[in-house]
A and B are shown apart, each in its own frame.
Chain A
Amino acid sequence: MADPPPRASAHGQGRTVQIDVPALARVEGEGALRLRIRDGEIEELALRIYEPPRLFEKALEGRSYEEVPDMVARICGICPVAYQISAVNALENAFGVEVDPWVQTMRRVLYCGEWIESHCLHIHLLAAPDYFGYESAIAMSREHPEVVRRGLRLQGLGNDLIRLLGGRSVHPVSVRVGGFHRAPETADVVAMRRRLQDALSDSEALVRWTAAIAVPSDRQNFVSVALRHDQEYPIHQGYIGADDGLAVGPEDFERQFSEHQLVHSTALASQYRGAGYLVGPLARLNLNRERLPAPLQGLIGEVGPSFPSSNMFNSMFVRAIEVHFAIAEANRLLEHYAPPRAPAVGVTPCASIGYGCSEAPRGLLWHRYRTDAQGRILAARIVPPTSQNQARIEEDLRLSLLSFGLEHSDEDLRLHCEKVIRNYDPCISCATHFLRLTTERL
């Protein structure tokens, strides 16, 4: 396929704008944008996903439950921990396994590492260049070296935290049904705590820096969906909530969230009560702000916009808040670290169905497994956050362009669309493994 550079044509009074971005930059995975405006009306607007599907849900059939964490990690290189945790949550639900508090704590710490790594990668490498007029973080680093270096440092810290618990940062090896394969050494935990402590000044500076970035104000109507929890800011566990008061367990996910074929598109998109909905950091903060430590809520009040927010452009700030939170949270959780008697409990598989979810960096990630008596997978269903956001992204693009104004130059329109898409930090490699969608190449 010949990939033409982004181009637009315009002629005469009734301006026709056609913007084709055959390959989106600074998003994860392969996506494209197509926009056509005729006579001041949006005629066509679509985020096309052409990442080839890898059919994980079928590949899991016939595999042992013990292989599931290793396999689902391969759905995504940026958020493998999220897949592993959602999977073990679901399988432990299926087998009636109750893990002990040490495991829950360590899973939360591991996940903090992934939030830190993924959010920092997104803020600095994917999103920020747009707001400073650069094509890439590399270009940006020449004139803003301290900011980029700080982001890379924090990203590295997140990766090292994952490595501490999981052995390596991409496709960690330690997560298993029942717990972990190995507990970290106390000396290593102490060293990591020191680094987390030292990083807090960086992460607070990150929050203040993102708060000061001028972003469009674009309020829209949408339902926020995220995990909630009675005590903690939800990361690795919780019940499913929405800002209309919904509160259900993972076993009810399919009853509440269904896939429909949208009239204007051939994609099947997730819907809640007949409309698209939002998952991700903004949804999480909208629903769980009171679970953040008081000083952090204070910081939000001091420098940030007001919450709940219906402006997706606040997402970068929210990611920075979550980085700052995750560093402090991991530090807090590791304070009284002691190696456990055993890093995992025994597991007896059985024929069953299990449901599990967790909050991936990009939002709610839900798994369901049906198993046989030996614990082999008979059927799997996985719903990643980016696919849940697809309907919302397209709606956002439409509304956002209208509010931005179609009279802008083609280049400005294209950049605006890309900023909108990047607000969602889409992880396209994840999204396509499951999507019932028509993958049409442009």
Chain B
Amino acid sequence: MSSSLPKVAVHKFSSCDGCQLALLNLGETLLQLSQMVEFTHFAEAGPVNPDAPVDIAFVEGSVSTPEDKERIKRVRGNSRILVTIGACATAGGVQALRNYVDSKQWVGAIYAKPEYVRLLDHSTPIAEHVKVDLELWGCPVNARQVTGALRALLFGVRPVEENDKVCLECKRRQAVCVMVAKGLPCMGPVTRTGCGALCPSFGRDCYACYGPAENPNTDALRRRFVGLGLEPQQAAQRFRFINGAAPAFRDAGSAKAETENG
């Protein structure tokens, strides 16, 4: 019973699994989607068939091991369209913090037999290894991003990308600016919206779950943080977090930036 529905795969690399939950938490909508597409490979939901050719592959997680490097190439070869979902896949994830240090030291500190742990020095985004057709940034991505992208792609439509900065979303929601009102080191001015300015609406500073926005002025923001009273090292560390390995944040979070005083 070969189905004529478009085939979709969901692959997991090094991640917390939270982005797949955008699909697994859909409830009724997941059942609807399964009538529009055939989930050929979606291990956590049941179907395991990682090497089947598919129309759309969603990839969560970063590349962390030599095996991952081989596996992502196979996934790319089997997939007409490859969509990365979440900070791990698009930016290397929070585990990319080890990219900044001598990660062998980290492994040795945790693992009694480090020689058995075949981990790459760096956790890297999928796009560093294969061509990616669409990136959905977020930590986690939200359901609307994933289902919106899927529906659009099924029509052959390129999904629209959110490029506004969180600040714009705060203004739309009439949320009080936490940087101005509370002096908090909010990453909103350089961060892409998608969460609906969640943290500022909770009275706290944004910590850049959705990654760098277009044309982020990270240097100016970092200096502003120092002006708010942060040590240069702390100010730089704000960029070195969930999406820390994204190129736009990497420089602002670097060791060199830590020594720049305002």
Contact = CB atoms under 8 A, between A and B. Distances in A.
A binds B: yes
Interface of A: 1-3, 23-30, 50-59, 62-64, 67, 70-71, 74-78, 80, 117, 121, 125-126, 129, 134-139, 141, 148-149, 152-153, 155-156, 159, 167-171, 173-174, 176, 181-182, 266, 268, 429, 434, 436-441
Contacts of B262: none
Contacts of A156: 25, 27
B170 interface: no
A59 B98 CA distance: 7
A27 B116 contact: no
Nearest to B60: A77
Contacts of A429: 15-17
A26 B45 contact: yes
Interface in B11-55: 12-22, 24-25, 27-28, 30-31, 34, 39, 42-48, 50-51
The 9 A-B pairs at the shortest CB distance, nearest first, are namely: A77-B18, A136-B46, A54-B95, A438-B116, A52-B64, A152-B27, A58-B106, A77-B17, A170-B18
B110 A55 contact: yes
Given A80-B18, A155-B27, A436-B111, A25 B47 contact: yes
B109 A58 contact: yes
Contact of B46 (A138, A149, A169): A138
B23 to A, nearest CB: 11
B67 A1 contact: yes
28 contacts: A1-B70, A25-B44, A25-B47, A28-B17, A52-B64, A53-B119, A55-B103, A59-B94, A59-B95, A59-B97, A59-B98, A59-B106, A64-B234, A77-B21, A121-B24, A136-B39, A138-B31, A141-B34, A155-B27, A167-B199, A167-B202, A169-B21, A176-B204, A181-B204, A268-B112, A429-B16, A434-B110, A436-B113
B95 A55 contact: yes
A171 B18 contact: yes
Given A30-B12, A138-B45, A438 B31 contact: no
Interface of B: 12-22, 24-25, 27-28, 30-31, 34, 39, 42-48, 50-51, 64-65, 67-68, 70-71, 93-95, 97-98, 103, 106-107, 109-113, 116-119, 123, 139-140, 142, 195, 198-199, 201-204, 207, 209, 234, 237, 241-242
Contacts, number: 189
Contacts of A59: 94-95, 97-98, 106
A54 B39 CA distance: 28
A1 B34 CA distance: 28
B113 A29 contact: no
B46 A129 contact: yes
A148 B203 contact: no
A394 to B, nearest CB: 18
Secondary structure at chain A's binding surface: helix, strand, loop or mixed? loop
A76 B39 contact: no
Contact of B47 (A56, A135, A149, A437): A135
Nearest to B50: A3
Contact of B67 (A138, A155, A441): A441
B173 to A, nearest CB: 13
B44 A125 contact: yes
Given A3-B51, A155-B27, A25 B68 contact: no
A126 B140 CA distance: 21
B184 to A, nearest CB: 10
Contacts of A171: 18, 139-140, 209
Contacts of B48: 23, 25
B128 to A, nearest CB: 16
A262 B175 CA distance: 55
A382 B191 CA distance: 30
A439 B117 contact: yes
B129 to A, nearest CB: 14
Given A3-B50, A58-B110, 17 more contacts: A25-B48, A28-B44, A53-B110, A55-B106, A58-B106, A59-B94, A67-B241, A71-B94, A78-B17, A78-B21, A136-B47, A138-B46, A171-B140, A182-B203, A437-B111, A438-B113, A438-B117
B202 A26 contact: no
B202 A174 contact: yes
A268 B118 CA distance: 17
A60 to B, nearest CB: 9
A183 B17 CA distance: 28
A176 B203 CA distance: 12
Contacts of B17: 28-29, 76-78, 429
B198 A168 contact: yes
A164 to B, nearest CB: 12
A56 B14 CA distance: 13
A29 B61 CA distance: 11
Nearest to A159: B25
